[in-house]
A and B are shown apart, each in its own frame.
Chain A
Amino acid sequence: MRACPRQEKESHCQGEGTAPPKAVQSPPCEPDGRIRPGELAPAFGLAGLPGGRERNSEGLQAVGLASLRAERLVFTGVDVDVGAGGALVLSGPNGSGKSTLTRVLAGLRRPDHGTVLWGGAPIADDLGAHARRVAYVGHLDGVKSGFTARENLAFAASVGNGDVDHALGAFGLSAYAAFPARMLSAGQRRRLALGRLLLSRAPLWLLDEPSVGLDTASIRLLGDVLAQHRARGGVVVAATHVPLPLPSVQTLSLS
Protein backbone atom coordinates (compact mmCIF):
# COMPACT_ATOMS: atom_id res chain seq x y z
CA MET A 1 0.00 0.00 0.00
CA ARG A 2 2.26 2.63 -1.21
CA ALA A 3 0.77 5.00 -3.70
CA CYS A 4 -2.43 6.22 -5.16
CA PRO A 5 -3.91 4.01 -7.86
CA ARG A 6 -4.58 5.28 -11.26
CA GLN A 7 -7.91 3.67 -11.44
CA GLU A 8 -9.09 5.48 -14.54
CA LYS A 9 -5.93 4.65 -16.50
CA GLU A 10 -5.83 1.02 -15.47
CA SER A 11 -9.33 0.49 -16.76
CA HIS A 12 -8.16 1.13 -20.32
CA CYS A 13 -6.69 -2.27 -20.76
CA GLN A 14 -9.72 -4.16 -19.62
CA GLY A 15 -11.41 -4.24 -22.98
CA GLU A 16 -8.72 -6.40 -24.54
CA GLY A 17 -9.45 -9.74 -22.95
CA THR A 18 -12.07 -11.69 -21.14
CA ALA A 19 -10.64 -11.65 -17.63
CA PRO A 20 -10.15 -8.23 -16.06
CA PRO A 21 -6.71 -7.73 -14.56
CA LYS A 22 -6.59 -8.30 -10.86
CA ALA A 23 -4.67 -5.11 -10.35
CA VAL A 24 -7.69 -2.89 -10.76
CA GLN A 25 -9.43 -4.28 -7.70
CA SER A 26 -7.62 -1.95 -5.39
CA PRO A 27 -8.85 -0.79 -2.01
CA PRO A 28 -8.73 2.92 -1.19
CA CYS A 29 -5.30 4.39 -1.37
CA GLU A 30 -3.19 5.93 1.31
CA PRO A 31 -2.95 9.61 0.54
CA ASP A 32 0.24 10.19 2.48
CA GLY A 33 2.70 9.27 -0.25
CA ARG A 34 4.38 6.25 -1.70
CA ILE A 35 7.33 5.64 0.59
CA ARG A 36 6.93 3.76 3.80
CA PRO A 37 8.82 5.15 6.76
CA GLY A 38 12.10 3.45 7.49
CA GLU A 39 12.67 2.51 3.88
CA LEU A 40 15.64 3.60 1.82
CA ALA A 41 14.84 6.90 0.25
CA PRO A 42 14.36 6.23 -3.43
CA ALA A 43 16.46 8.28 -5.73
CA PHE A 44 14.06 7.75 -8.58
CA GLY A 45 10.35 8.39 -8.43
CA LEU A 46 7.84 5.84 -9.58
CA ALA A 47 5.14 7.52 -11.56
CA GLY A 48 1.68 6.08 -11.31
CA LEU A 49 2.04 3.14 -8.97
CA PRO A 50 -1.20 1.20 -8.81
CA GLY A 51 -1.05 0.92 -5.08
CA GLY A 52 -3.19 -0.50 -2.35
CA ARG A 53 -2.81 -4.04 -3.68
CA GLU A 54 -2.35 -6.86 -1.27
CA ARG A 55 1.09 -8.40 -1.37
CA ASN A 56 -0.08 -11.95 -1.72
CA SER A 57 -1.34 -11.46 -5.27
CA GLU A 58 0.90 -12.39 -8.18
CA GLY A 59 3.01 -9.43 -8.90
CA LEU A 60 6.53 -8.14 -9.05
CA GLN A 61 7.91 -5.98 -6.30
CA ALA A 62 11.38 -4.75 -5.61
CA VAL A 63 12.55 -2.76 -2.64
CA GLY A 64 15.61 -0.54 -2.50
CA LEU A 65 17.49 -2.10 -5.42
CA ALA A 66 21.00 -0.92 -6.05
CA SER A 67 23.52 -2.24 -8.53
CA LEU A 68 27.20 -1.69 -9.10
CA ARG A 69 28.96 -2.22 -12.36
CA ALA A 70 32.75 -2.18 -12.37
CA GLU A 71 32.77 -0.34 -9.03
CA ARG A 72 30.42 2.29 -10.44
CA LEU A 73 26.98 2.80 -8.96
CA VAL A 74 24.51 2.21 -11.79
CA PHE A 75 21.32 2.81 -9.85
CA THR A 76 20.26 2.93 -6.24
CA GLY A 77 17.08 3.06 -4.25
CA VAL A 78 14.93 1.67 -7.04
CA ASP A 79 11.50 0.45 -5.98
CA VAL A 80 9.22 -1.50 -8.29
CA ASP A 81 5.63 -2.54 -7.73
CA VAL A 82 3.73 -4.01 -10.64
CA GLY A 83 0.65 -6.10 -10.10
CA ALA A 84 -1.01 -8.73 -12.25
CA GLY A 85 -2.00 -7.18 -15.56
CA GLY A 86 0.30 -4.24 -14.97
CA ALA A 87 3.11 -2.90 -17.06
CA LEU A 88 6.20 -0.95 -16.17
CA VAL A 89 8.38 0.93 -18.61
CA LEU A 90 11.98 1.60 -17.62
CA SER A 91 13.23 4.72 -19.30
CA GLY A 92 16.45 6.64 -19.10
CA PRO A 93 19.52 7.51 -21.13
CA ASN A 94 22.12 4.99 -22.29
CA GLY A 95 24.07 3.55 -19.42
CA SER A 96 21.45 4.41 -16.83
CA GLY A 97 21.04 0.75 -15.88
CA LYS A 98 17.86 -0.25 -17.67
CA SER A 99 19.34 -3.51 -18.92
CA THR A 100 21.00 -4.18 -15.59
CA LEU A 101 17.71 -3.66 -13.78
CA THR A 102 15.95 -5.99 -16.22
CA ARG A 103 18.53 -8.68 -15.53
CA VAL A 104 18.19 -8.15 -11.80
CA LEU A 105 14.44 -8.57 -12.05
CA ALA A 106 14.98 -11.74 -14.12
CA GLY A 107 17.18 -13.19 -11.41
CA LEU A 108 20.13 -13.40 -13.80
CA ARG A 109 22.03 -10.87 -11.76
CA ARG A 110 22.13 -10.44 -8.02
CA PRO A 111 21.29 -6.93 -6.85
CA ASP A 112 24.07 -5.42 -4.77
CA HIS A 113 21.41 -4.13 -2.41
CA GLY A 114 17.71 -4.65 -2.01
CA THR A 115 15.28 -7.47 -2.69
CA VAL A 116 13.18 -8.56 -5.62
CA LEU A 117 9.90 -10.21 -4.64
CA TRP A 118 7.30 -12.16 -6.54
CA GLY A 119 3.97 -12.53 -4.80
CA GLY A 120 5.61 -11.32 -1.62
CA ALA A 121 8.39 -13.94 -1.55
CA PRO A 122 12.02 -13.04 -2.34
CA ILE A 123 13.04 -14.55 -5.67
CA ALA A 124 16.50 -15.33 -4.30
CA ASP A 125 14.89 -18.08 -2.17
CA ASP A 126 14.21 -20.14 -5.28
CA LEU A 127 15.83 -18.86 -8.45
CA GLY A 128 14.77 -21.94 -10.38
CA ALA A 129 11.11 -21.27 -9.66
CA HIS A 130 11.58 -17.63 -10.61
CA ALA A 131 13.24 -18.65 -13.87
CA ARG A 132 10.12 -20.64 -14.75
CA ARG A 133 7.93 -17.59 -14.30
CA VAL A 134 10.14 -15.29 -16.37
CA ALA A 135 10.20 -14.85 -20.11
CA TYR A 136 13.15 -12.65 -20.96
CA VAL A 137 14.02 -10.97 -24.23
CA GLY A 138 17.40 -9.35 -23.79
CA HIS A 139 19.14 -6.89 -26.06
CA LEU A 140 20.75 -9.91 -27.70
CA ASP A 141 18.30 -12.04 -29.65
CA GLY A 142 19.63 -15.46 -28.67
CA VAL A 143 19.10 -16.63 -32.23
CA LYS A 144 21.40 -19.31 -33.66
CA SER A 145 22.38 -18.51 -37.23
CA GLY A 146 22.76 -22.16 -38.15
CA PHE A 147 19.21 -23.02 -37.11
CA THR A 148 16.06 -22.36 -39.05
CA ALA A 149 13.49 -20.01 -37.54
CA ARG A 150 11.46 -22.99 -36.39
CA GLU A 151 14.46 -24.75 -34.85
CA ASN A 152 15.37 -21.59 -33.00
CA LEU A 153 12.07 -21.71 -31.18
CA ALA A 154 12.10 -25.47 -30.59
CA PHE A 155 13.92 -25.34 -27.25
CA ALA A 156 11.68 -22.57 -25.89
CA ALA A 157 8.67 -24.55 -27.07
CA SER A 158 9.75 -27.62 -25.15
CA VAL A 159 10.31 -25.52 -22.03
CA GLY A 160 6.91 -23.85 -22.17
CA ASN A 161 4.88 -26.46 -24.07
CA GLY A 162 4.03 -23.80 -26.63
CA ASP A 163 3.02 -24.00 -30.26
CA VAL A 164 5.86 -22.90 -32.54
CA ASP A 165 3.62 -22.24 -35.56
CA HIS A 166 1.37 -19.99 -33.52
CA ALA A 167 4.36 -18.04 -32.23
CA LEU A 168 5.82 -17.66 -35.72
CA GLY A 169 2.45 -16.62 -37.10
CA ALA A 170 1.82 -14.03 -34.39
CA PHE A 171 4.90 -12.13 -35.49
CA GLY A 172 4.40 -12.68 -39.20
CA LEU A 173 7.23 -15.19 -39.59
CA SER A 174 5.26 -18.19 -40.88
CA ALA A 175 6.73 -17.81 -44.36
CA TYR A 176 10.26 -17.91 -42.92
CA ALA A 177 9.81 -20.95 -40.68
CA ALA A 178 12.23 -23.08 -42.70
CA PHE A 179 14.69 -20.28 -43.44
CA PRO A 180 18.09 -20.42 -41.77
CA ALA A 181 18.23 -17.59 -39.25
CA ARG A 182 21.37 -16.22 -40.88
CA MET A 183 19.19 -15.20 -43.84
CA LEU A 184 16.79 -13.23 -41.66
CA SER A 185 17.06 -9.47 -41.28
CA ALA A 186 17.75 -7.84 -37.93
CA GLY A 187 14.08 -7.01 -37.47
CA GLN A 188 13.04 -10.55 -38.34
CA ARG A 189 15.52 -11.97 -35.85
CA ARG A 190 14.09 -9.62 -33.26
CA ARG A 191 10.60 -10.88 -34.04
CA LEU A 192 11.87 -14.41 -33.71
CA ALA A 193 13.23 -13.58 -30.25
CA LEU A 194 9.89 -12.02 -29.32
CA GLY A 195 8.15 -15.16 -30.56
CA ARG A 196 9.65 -16.96 -27.57
CA LEU A 197 7.33 -14.96 -25.35
CA LEU A 198 4.35 -16.70 -26.85
CA LEU A 199 5.84 -20.13 -26.24
CA SER A 200 6.25 -19.55 -22.56
CA ARG A 201 3.57 -19.70 -19.93
CA ALA A 202 5.56 -17.35 -17.73
CA PRO A 203 3.51 -14.58 -16.10
CA LEU A 204 6.40 -12.12 -16.02
CA TRP A 205 7.72 -10.76 -19.30
CA LEU A 206 10.97 -8.82 -19.11
CA LEU A 207 11.84 -7.02 -22.32
CA ASP A 208 15.02 -5.11 -23.03
CA GLU A 209 14.47 -2.68 -25.90
CA PRO A 210 11.90 -4.98 -27.52
CA SER A 211 11.13 -2.66 -30.41
CA VAL A 212 14.69 -2.26 -31.71
CA GLY A 213 14.74 -3.03 -35.43
CA LEU A 214 10.98 -3.51 -35.68
CA ASP A 215 8.87 -1.79 -38.32
CA THR A 216 5.62 -0.06 -37.39
CA ALA A 217 3.49 -3.08 -38.31
CA SER A 218 5.60 -5.34 -36.10
CA ILE A 219 5.42 -2.87 -33.23
CA ARG A 220 1.65 -3.03 -33.55
CA LEU A 221 1.83 -6.85 -33.41
CA LEU A 222 3.99 -6.55 -30.32
CA GLY A 223 1.40 -4.22 -28.79
CA ASP A 224 -1.35 -6.79 -29.42
CA VAL A 225 0.72 -9.57 -27.88
CA LEU A 226 1.53 -7.49 -24.82
CA ALA A 227 -2.11 -6.48 -24.38
CA GLN A 228 -3.24 -10.12 -24.55
CA HIS A 229 -0.63 -11.09 -21.98
CA ARG A 230 -1.77 -8.35 -19.60
CA ALA A 231 -5.42 -9.25 -20.11
CA ARG A 232 -4.54 -12.75 -18.89
CA GLY A 233 -3.09 -11.21 -15.75
CA GLY A 234 0.53 -11.21 -16.90
CA VAL A 235 3.09 -8.60 -15.96
CA VAL A 236 5.22 -6.72 -18.47
CA VAL A 237 8.41 -4.85 -17.65
CA ALA A 238 10.05 -3.20 -20.64
CA ALA A 239 13.19 -1.10 -20.89
CA THR A 240 12.87 1.23 -23.82
CA HIS A 241 13.84 4.58 -25.34
CA VAL A 242 10.93 4.83 -27.72
CA PRO A 243 7.24 4.77 -26.82
CA LEU A 244 5.78 1.29 -26.84
CA PRO A 245 2.14 0.49 -27.53
CA LEU A 246 1.43 -0.11 -23.85
CA PRO A 247 -1.67 1.64 -22.48
CA SER A 248 -1.96 2.62 -18.80
CA VAL A 249 1.64 1.94 -18.00
CA GLN A 250 3.78 2.97 -15.06
CA THR A 251 7.06 4.63 -15.85
CA LEU A 252 10.25 4.36 -13.87
CA SER A 253 12.87 6.77 -15.07
CA LEU A 254 16.49 6.00 -14.27
CA SER A 255 18.97 8.77 -14.75
Chain B
Amino acid sequence: MKVFLALLGRELRLAVRHGADTLAALLFFVLAGSLFPLAIGPEPATLGRIAPGIVWVCALLATLLPLDRMFGADLEDGSLDQLLLSGLPSPAVACAKALAHWLTTGLPLLVVACPLAAMLRMDAGAQPALLAGLLPGTLDLSLLGTAGAAVVLGARRGGVVLPLLVIPLMVPVLIFGAAAPSAATMGLSPKSSLLLLLAILSAGTPVCLLAAGAALRGAAE
Protein backbone atom coordinates (compact mmCIF):
# COMPACT_ATOMS: atom_id res chain seq x y z
CA MET B 1 0.00 0.00 0.00
CA LYS B 2 2.87 2.32 0.85
CA VAL B 3 4.46 1.67 -2.53
CA PHE B 4 1.09 2.21 -4.23
CA LEU B 5 0.71 5.60 -2.55
CA ALA B 6 4.31 6.46 -3.42
CA LEU B 7 3.59 5.65 -7.06
CA LEU B 8 0.39 7.72 -6.97
CA GLY B 9 2.33 10.60 -5.43
CA ARG B 10 4.99 10.29 -8.10
CA GLU B 11 2.36 10.42 -10.85
CA LEU B 12 0.65 13.47 -9.36
CA ARG B 13 3.98 15.24 -8.93
CA LEU B 14 4.85 14.47 -12.55
CA ALA B 15 1.48 15.88 -13.60
CA VAL B 16 2.25 19.10 -11.73
CA ARG B 17 5.74 19.29 -13.32
CA HIS B 18 4.21 18.85 -16.76
CA GLY B 19 1.41 21.26 -15.94
CA ALA B 20 0.87 22.25 -19.56
CA ASP B 21 -0.02 18.67 -20.51
CA THR B 22 -2.43 18.46 -17.61
CA LEU B 23 -4.10 21.76 -18.41
CA ALA B 24 -4.34 20.92 -22.09
CA ALA B 25 -7.12 18.37 -21.53
CA LEU B 26 -9.08 20.85 -19.45
CA LEU B 27 -8.69 23.69 -21.94
CA PHE B 28 -9.61 21.35 -24.79
CA PHE B 29 -12.81 20.49 -22.91
CA VAL B 30 -13.79 24.13 -22.51
CA LEU B 31 -12.77 25.16 -26.03
CA ALA B 32 -14.48 22.23 -27.76
CA GLY B 33 -17.63 22.85 -25.73
CA SER B 34 -17.73 26.52 -26.60
CA LEU B 35 -17.49 25.76 -30.34
CA PHE B 36 -21.01 24.36 -30.37
CA PRO B 37 -22.89 27.63 -29.74
CA LEU B 38 -20.80 29.21 -32.49
CA ALA B 39 -21.61 26.45 -34.96
CA ILE B 40 -25.23 25.74 -34.04
CA GLY B 41 -26.32 29.22 -33.07
CA PRO B 42 -27.11 30.67 -29.68
CA GLU B 43 -30.79 29.71 -29.53
CA PRO B 44 -31.34 28.65 -25.87
CA ALA B 45 -33.98 25.97 -26.55
CA THR B 46 -31.82 24.03 -29.03
CA LEU B 47 -28.59 24.44 -27.06
CA GLY B 48 -30.19 23.55 -23.75
CA ARG B 49 -31.60 20.35 -25.17
CA ILE B 50 -28.25 19.09 -26.53
CA ALA B 51 -26.06 20.55 -23.76
CA PRO B 52 -25.70 17.28 -21.75
CA GLY B 53 -24.59 15.49 -24.88
CA ILE B 54 -22.08 18.23 -25.74
CA VAL B 55 -20.59 18.16 -22.24
CA TRP B 56 -20.29 14.39 -22.33
CA VAL B 57 -18.76 14.14 -25.80
CA CYS B 58 -16.23 16.83 -24.94
CA ALA B 59 -15.41 15.16 -21.63
CA LEU B 60 -14.90 11.83 -23.36
CA LEU B 61 -12.58 13.32 -25.96
CA ALA B 62 -10.68 15.35 -23.35
CA THR B 63 -9.92 12.25 -21.28
CA LEU B 64 -8.31 10.67 -24.37
CA LEU B 65 -5.69 13.42 -24.68
CA PRO B 66 -3.28 12.43 -21.86
CA LEU B 67 -3.58 8.68 -22.52
CA ASP B 68 -0.88 8.55 -25.17
CA ARG B 69 1.81 9.61 -22.70
CA MET B 70 0.37 7.71 -19.76
CA PHE B 71 2.66 4.71 -20.21
CA GLY B 72 4.51 5.84 -23.34
CA ALA B 73 6.82 8.20 -21.48
CA ASP B 74 7.65 5.53 -18.92
CA LEU B 75 8.34 2.96 -21.61
CA GLU B 76 10.65 5.31 -23.49
CA ASP B 77 12.80 6.34 -20.54
CA GLY B 78 12.96 2.93 -18.88
CA SER B 79 10.84 3.86 -15.85
CA LEU B 80 8.28 1.20 -16.71
CA ASP B 81 10.79 -1.54 -15.89
CA GLN B 82 11.38 0.06 -12.51
CA LEU B 83 7.62 0.25 -11.85
CA LEU B 84 7.14 -3.40 -12.78
CA LEU B 85 10.06 -4.41 -10.55
CA SER B 86 8.83 -2.34 -7.61
CA GLY B 87 7.09 -5.40 -6.20
CA LEU B 88 3.64 -4.01 -6.99
CA PRO B 89 1.53 -6.37 -9.10
CA SER B 90 1.15 -4.93 -12.58
CA PRO B 91 -2.63 -4.35 -12.17
CA ALA B 92 -1.80 -2.22 -9.12
CA VAL B 93 0.59 -0.16 -11.25
CA ALA B 94 -2.24 0.30 -13.76
CA CYS B 95 -4.61 1.20 -10.92
CA ALA B 96 -2.28 3.93 -9.65
CA LYS B 97 -1.95 5.27 -13.20
CA ALA B 98 -5.73 5.24 -13.73
CA LEU B 99 -6.33 6.97 -10.41
CA ALA B 100 -3.71 9.62 -11.21
CA HIS B 101 -5.31 10.11 -14.62
CA TRP B 102 -8.70 10.61 -13.02
CA LEU B 103 -7.36 13.00 -10.37
CA THR B 104 -5.59 15.13 -12.97
CA THR B 105 -8.17 14.92 -15.78
CA GLY B 106 -11.54 13.59 -14.59
CA LEU B 107 -11.78 15.58 -11.39
CA PRO B 108 -10.92 18.97 -13.00
CA LEU B 109 -13.49 18.18 -15.72
CA LEU B 110 -16.12 17.76 -13.02
CA VAL B 111 -15.30 21.23 -11.71
CA VAL B 112 -15.46 22.88 -15.13
CA ALA B 113 -18.49 20.92 -16.38
CA CYS B 114 -21.03 23.02 -14.49
CA PRO B 115 -19.91 26.40 -15.86
CA LEU B 116 -19.74 24.90 -19.34
CA ALA B 117 -23.24 23.44 -18.99
CA ALA B 118 -24.55 26.77 -17.76
CA MET B 119 -22.93 28.48 -20.72
CA LEU B 120 -24.75 26.04 -23.00
CA ARG B 121 -28.03 26.97 -21.30
CA MET B 122 -28.61 23.58 -19.77
CA ASP B 123 -31.49 23.52 -17.31
CA ALA B 124 -30.06 24.39 -13.89
CA GLY B 125 -32.17 21.67 -12.31
CA ALA B 126 -30.27 19.04 -14.31
CA GLN B 127 -26.86 20.08 -12.98
CA PRO B 128 -26.85 17.64 -10.04
CA ALA B 129 -27.72 14.78 -12.40
CA LEU B 130 -24.93 15.83 -14.77
CA LEU B 131 -22.37 15.87 -11.94
CA ALA B 132 -23.67 12.65 -10.42
CA GLY B 133 -23.22 11.02 -13.82
CA LEU B 134 -19.81 12.52 -14.51
CA LEU B 135 -18.39 11.31 -11.19
CA PRO B 136 -18.61 7.56 -11.92
CA GLY B 137 -18.53 8.22 -15.67
CA THR B 138 -15.11 9.90 -15.71
CA LEU B 139 -13.79 7.08 -13.53
CA ASP B 140 -15.11 4.64 -16.13
CA LEU B 141 -13.40 6.63 -18.87
CA SER B 142 -10.09 6.69 -16.98
CA LEU B 143 -10.19 2.94 -16.44
CA LEU B 144 -11.07 2.13 -20.04
CA GLY B 145 -8.48 4.61 -21.25
CA THR B 146 -5.81 3.07 -19.02
CA ALA B 147 -6.54 -0.40 -20.36
CA GLY B 148 -6.45 0.91 -23.93
CA ALA B 149 -3.21 2.83 -23.35
CA ALA B 150 -1.57 -0.28 -21.92
CA VAL B 151 -2.75 -2.46 -24.80
CA VAL B 152 -1.41 -0.20 -27.55
CA LEU B 153 1.84 0.42 -25.64
CA GLY B 154 4.84 -0.23 -27.81
CA ALA B 155 2.77 -0.48 -30.99
CA ARG B 156 3.75 1.71 -33.90
CA ARG B 157 1.35 4.65 -34.26
CA GLY B 158 -0.19 3.59 -30.96
CA GLY B 159 -1.48 7.10 -30.39
CA VAL B 160 -3.62 6.84 -33.53
CA VAL B 161 -4.94 3.38 -32.76
CA LEU B 162 -5.76 4.23 -29.16
CA PRO B 163 -8.92 6.36 -29.77
CA LEU B 164 -10.15 3.84 -32.34
CA LEU B 165 -9.80 1.13 -29.73
CA VAL B 166 -11.28 2.82 -26.68
CA ILE B 167 -14.01 5.09 -28.08
CA PRO B 168 -16.28 2.15 -28.97
CA LEU B 169 -15.77 0.80 -25.46
CA MET B 170 -16.70 4.19 -24.01
CA VAL B 171 -20.01 4.40 -25.87
CA PRO B 172 -22.16 2.85 -23.08
CA VAL B 173 -20.69 5.32 -20.59
CA LEU B 174 -21.55 8.17 -22.94
CA ILE B 175 -25.12 6.96 -23.49
CA PHE B 176 -26.01 6.54 -19.82
CA GLY B 177 -24.00 9.57 -18.75
CA ALA B 178 -25.78 11.90 -21.15
CA ALA B 179 -29.15 10.26 -20.46
CA ALA B 180 -29.06 11.21 -16.76
CA PRO B 181 -29.21 15.03 -17.11
CA SER B 182 -31.54 14.73 -20.13
CA ALA B 183 -33.96 12.74 -18.01
CA ALA B 184 -33.70 15.33 -15.26
CA THR B 185 -34.45 18.11 -17.75
CA MET B 186 -37.63 16.33 -18.77
CA GLY B 187 -38.61 15.83 -15.14
CA LEU B 188 -37.82 12.12 -15.07
CA SER B 189 -35.65 10.36 -12.52
CA PRO B 190 -31.98 9.97 -13.61
CA LYS B 191 -31.54 7.16 -11.11
CA SER B 192 -31.52 4.24 -13.55
CA SER B 193 -28.82 5.81 -15.74
CA LEU B 194 -26.68 6.59 -12.72
CA LEU B 195 -27.03 3.05 -11.41
CA LEU B 196 -25.98 1.68 -14.79
CA LEU B 197 -22.88 3.92 -14.72
CA LEU B 198 -22.02 2.52 -11.31
CA ALA B 199 -22.59 -1.00 -12.62
CA ILE B 200 -20.17 -0.33 -15.47
CA LEU B 201 -17.68 0.97 -12.91
CA SER B 202 -17.90 -2.05 -10.64
CA ALA B 203 -17.71 -4.54 -13.48
CA GLY B 204 -15.13 -2.59 -15.45
CA THR B 205 -12.66 -1.95 -12.64
CA PRO B 206 -11.31 -5.49 -12.26
CA VAL B 207 -11.53 -6.27 -15.98
CA CYS B 208 -9.75 -3.07 -17.06
CA LEU B 209 -7.04 -3.31 -14.41
CA LEU B 210 -6.28 -6.97 -15.09
CA ALA B 211 -6.20 -6.33 -18.83
CA ALA B 212 -3.95 -3.29 -18.36
CA GLY B 213 -1.65 -5.22 -16.03
CA ALA B 214 -1.25 -8.08 -18.47
CA ALA B 215 -0.68 -5.65 -21.33
CA LEU B 216 2.02 -3.81 -19.35
CA ARG B 217 3.85 -7.07 -18.72
CA GLY B 218 3.60 -7.85 -22.39
CA ALA B 219 4.90 -4.43 -23.42
CA ALA B 220 7.91 -4.76 -21.13
CA GLU B 221 9.00 -8.02 -22.75
Contacts and interface: CB of A to CB of B under 8 A. Distances in A.
Contacts of B88: 128
Contacts of B13: 147, 151
A110 B220 CA distance: 10
A154 B9 CA distance: 10
A153 to B, nearest CB: 11
A136 B7 contact: no
A44 interface: no
A109 B7 CA distance: 22
Contact of A141 (B17, B77, B220): B77
Interface string A99-117: 0000100111110000000
Contacts of A107: 85
B81 A108 contact: yes
Interface string B3-19: 10011001001100110
A9 interface: no
Contacts of B3: 158-159
A45 interface: no
Interface size classification for chain B? 20 to 34
Contacts of B78: 138-142
Contacts of A132: 87
B77 A196 contact: no
A136 B87 contact: no
Given A144-B14, A146-B18, A136 B81 contact: yes
Contact of B221 (A110, A141, A142): A110
Nearest to A180: B17
A138 B81 contact: yes
B89 interface: yes
Given A134-B85, A146-B14, A154 B77 contact: no
B6 A158 contact: yes
B7 A155 contact: yes
Closest 7 A/B residue pairs (Cβ): A140-B78, A158-B6, A146-B17, A142-B78, A132-B87, A142-B79, A109-B221
Interface of B: 2-3, 6-7, 10, 13-14, 17-18, 76-79, 81-82, 84-89, 220-221
Interface of A: 103, 106-110, 128, 131-132, 134-136, 138-144, 146-147, 151, 154-156, 158-159, 196
